[in-house]
Structure 1
Amino acid sequence: MNGDWLLLGRDGRLSVYLPSDGAALWRAERAPAGPWEAPRRIGGDQELLPGLSIGRGPDGYGHLVAWRPVGTDRSDLVHTTHFRPLLAPLDWQPAGHPNKQGARTGTPAVAVDAQGRAHVFVRNGGGGMSMVAQKEKGGWEPWRDLKGRGVQEEPAAVTGESGRVELYAAVTGGIRHWRQEQPGARPVPGEGVDAAVRPGTLRALATSEESTTVLFTDDDSGELCAWRPGEKPMPLVAAAGPGPVSAVRCVIDGHDCTLVAQRSTSGRVAFAAYPSQQEALGAVWTESGPELPADAVVSLALDADGRLVAATLSPSTGQLRLARRKDEPGLALGPWQAV
């Protein structure tokens, strides 16, 4: 899964999304902080290919994008919107192909602008980056070639606090950045940076009113690093494990902090927090919870009360576990609960 798969709906309930045997499933709280519904399949019998991407708009709606097969060696992208956790998502609707037609070209990324329009980014057949955006009154604008070369899997799309969409993508030898200069405008290339990015480790989030930050693991040093355009990449701490981190901004003891979580090499979830945009101060991992299967992933969110919620999910077993921050100073979590 590409993006945060634990999302807060506008009615205060949490939802989770997960791929499962050629499909996408979702689960939701029956009431805020209450018991959970059983998993349900999204979009009926539609078969999906690997690479589910998830994004949340400022209106609280969830947007999901995936590839579906449409013939021999041919696929196209499909999109659905989820308005409320206890209401089924809309059916999958076609969003096209970056090269008009062909095979799957890469894992998509999705971000939603201040007007609630999904922006879908994916590597094209030529190794560059392409995008398609929703129109204000329904349907999709034409596909756009954003250029670029040597784009790798799993780009990271993010909406800044300004409501403008940005994109980070690992390319051969570094990271490239695109951003909207005005709401609704076509994202344009910004500066890039040289870096040895471990595949599949990009994660981006808004970290101030003006800035977004991309986190990644340096494949040479094994360190978790942060980069903001206009600055140099900053090492934060040695990566706890091989996969991507989840990240969220939250207030800890009155301070604006960025919290990251990752499945560690021990199999448990490791957490580290630092003052937002002050990576030079470093961070320290603290492990929590039981040992998890090797395919387990982690996601972080804030609930309707602004309380941190951490979730782990194993696609092979379907086991979902949650832990909530205790109502006390520091970052202590309550017990992990299987749901």
Structure 2
Amino acid sequence: MNGDWLLRGRDGRLSAYQLSGDAVLCRAERGPDGPWTDPRTVGGDQKLHPVLAVGQGADAYAHLVSWRPTTKGESGLVHSTHFRPRLAALDWNPIGHPNKKGDRTGTPAVAVDAQGRAHVFVRNNGGGVSLLAQKEKGGWDPWRDLKGSGVQDGLAAVTGESGRVELYAAAPGAVLHWRQEEPGAQPVLRETLETGVRPGTLHALATSSDGTTLYYTDDSGDLCAWRPGTKPVTVLPSAGPGPVAAVRCDLDGHDCTLLAQRSASGRVAFAAYPTELESAGAWWAESGPRLPVDALVSLAVDEDDRVVAATLSPSTGQLLLTKRKDEPGLALEAWRQV
């Protein structure tokens, strides 16, 4: 899955999205602190490939994108909107292919601008990135080629506090950054950072009124943070092989960024530091049980502004959850199965 799959909905309830065979499932809180609903299929009975991208706008609506098989050897992208976690999502709507037709070209990424328009990014057959953006009053603009070369799978799309959409992508020896100059404008390739980056480790987060931060693991295994226009900095050694999850939250009255990652030991490692102040230092602290190797980690903030962490194993379907205790520091409740 691509994007944060643990979300707080418009009604304050948390929801979690997961892949299950040829379908996407959603579970949601029935009330504060649960209990949770049973898994429900999202988007009708359309059969999907095992891939999902999730994005959420300021209106708290979730936008889901996947690939579906069409004819033999070919696939197309589909989109669904989920307005409230405990309501049914819209049926999957076909939105085409970046090269008009063909098989899957890469894992999509989704960001939603301030006007609630979903922006779907995906690699194309030319090795660059293509964009499909919603119109404000319904429908979709034509596919647009954003250029780029040698783009690897694992795009990271993000919406800044300004409401403008940005995209990061890894390429051999580089990270590429696209950004909208104005609301509704086509994102343009603004900067290329020359750096070694491990594919599949990108995660982007809005961290100030006019900036976003990209987290990635470099060739040496360090977790790095990069804000376009500056040089990347090392935050700390990566806890494990996959991407980090990240969320901004209030910790004892301070604006902090919390990172989480499945560690090499199989547990979840957490690290926090003042937002955009990587020089303050950060240290991993592990929590919870050992998890399957395919376990995913996601972070959110609930309606009481408490940090929530969740892990999900696609092979077992097991969803585990913990929340921050109501006390100073980053003490967490015992992990529980949902």
Provide TM-score, normalisation by structure 1. 0.99
Alignment match, 1:145: 145
| Match in the other structure for 1:182 | 182
Alignment check: 8 A CA contact 2:241 2:264 kept: yes
Taking the aligned partners of 2:91 and 2:160, their CA distance within structure 1 comes to 28
Counterpart residue number, 1:39:
39
The 5-angstrom pairing of residues 232-243 of structure 1 reads 232-243=231-242
Q: Which residue of 1 aligns with 2:113?
A: 113
RMSD value, Cα = 0.7
Residue in structure 1 matched with residue 67 of structure 2 by the alignment:
67
Q: Percent identity?
A: 70
Q: CA separation in 2, counterparts of 1:282 and 1:227? A: 15
Cα distance in 2 for partners of 1:91, 1:215 equals 33
| Contact preservation (8 Å) 2:61, 2:83 | yes
Structure 1 runs (4+) deviating above 4 angstroms are none
- Cα distance between partner residues in 1 of 2:61 and 2:320: 23
Deviation per CA, 1:263-320: give whole Å up to 9, x if none.
0011100000011111122210000001111110100000011110000000100000
Q: Hey, what's the Cα distance between the residues in 2 that align with 1:77 and 1:22? A: 14
Shift of 1:17: 0.3
Quote the Cα distance in structure 2 between the aligned partners of 1:321 and 1:50. 21
Q: Are the counterparts in 1 of residues 21 and 50 from structure 2 also a CA contact under 8 Å?
A: no
Q: 1:195 Cα deviation (Å)?
A: 1.4
Once residues 34 and 282 of structure 1 are traced to their aligned partners in structure 2, the CA distance between those partners, rounded to angstroms, is 35
Q: What is aligned with 1:297?
A: 296
Instruction: Give 1:233 shift.
Output: 1.0
Aligned to 1:7: 7
Give the structure 2 partner of residue 311 of structure 1: 310
Letter in 2 for 1:78: V
Give distance in 1, aligned partners of 2:52 and 2:322. 24
Question: Is there any run of 5+ residues in structure 1 with no aligned partner, and where?
Answer: none
- Whole-angstrom distance in 1 between the partners of 2:48 and 2:175: 29
Q: Which residue of 2 aligns with 1:337?
A: 336
1:171 to partner: Cα distance: 1.1
1:186-205 map, 5 Å: 186-205=186-205
- Structure 2, unaligned stretches of length 5 or more? none
Question: In structure 2, how many angstroms separate the alpha carbons of the residues matched to 1:302 and 1:197?
Answer: 29
CA offsets per residue over residues 198-239 of structure 1, 9 Å max, x none?
Answer: 111100010010110000011x21000000101111110100
2: CA distance, partners of 1:117 / 1:33: 31
Alignment-derived partner of residue 135 in structure 2: 135
How far is the alpha carbon of 1:51 from its aligned partner?
2.2
Q: Secondary structure at the match of 2:279?
A: helix
In the alignment, what sits opposite 1:278? Answer: 277
